[in-house]
Amino acid sequence: MGTKRVGLARIESLMENLKREIVGFNVETTANSVTTVTAAGALARNSINLINDADAANYTLPAAADCSRGDIIIVKYIAIHSSGVHKYGTSGEFFGAQSAIFTGPASTGASLFVAAPDGTGDDFLNLTAVSNAGPGVGTELIFHFNGSQWVVNGRVAASGNGTGTANVAFGTT
């Protein structure tokens, strides 16, 4: 048996194709539907949810038994959450410790780490409305299922003049 040689031009061509595939990948293109959410309810797997709900609400995530590795749920705020708490989660379905939520004052644009779950006891992400803090328009959360539990990463955008402190926490309720 002989050896096969691959020339530099072929390797460069393969690398360019790989770069195009990586750059072209966008989790939003894998979503099955886009829904404007105006009240509490269940969020569907592989969906984009535009949150237009200013009041307190509970948004449940699908149970782990009904999910597959790679499922995603994207949440984007298109209105200011102005009262109460927006709760994301399902009782007994704990968020992975890889989750992280960031926020920052509108005036500086700097991101600050706000919260992460412990991985074994936090089954809800709570976003409490705070004047001039958020969650405001542009808040984005990306939930993905890692094969055993939901993981959420995102950024809470400030509302108003951004001088308040966002109230974001993972908890058991």
The domain total for the chain is 1
Cis peptide before 105 (omega within 30 of 0): no
pLDDT at 106 over 70: no
Does any domain span residue 5? Answer: no
Collect all residues with Cβ–Cβ distance below 8 Å to 49 and sequence separation of at least 6.
34, 35, 36, 37, 43, 59, 73, 74, 75, 76
Residue whose structure tokens are 């308040």:
164
Q: Which of the residue ranges 10-14, 107-111, 152-156 has the most confident prediction, judged by mean pLDDT?
A: 152-156
> Which residues, at least 6 apart from 63, have a Cβ–Cβ distance to it below 8 Å?
90, 93
Examine residue 95 and state whether it is found in any structural domain, yes or no: yes
Residue 80: which of 49, 113, 39, 51 has the closest Cα? 51
Average pLDDT over residues 56-64: 94
pLDDT score recorded for residue 108? 54
Residue at 82 is within a domain: yes
The boundaries of the domain holding residue 97 are 30-171
Global pTM reads 0.78
- Asked if the structure places residue 17 within a domain, the reply is no
Query: pLDDT for 124-159, tens place per residue?
Result: 999 888 877 778 888 999 999 999 999 999 988 877
Q: Would 8 be classed as within a structural domain?
A: no
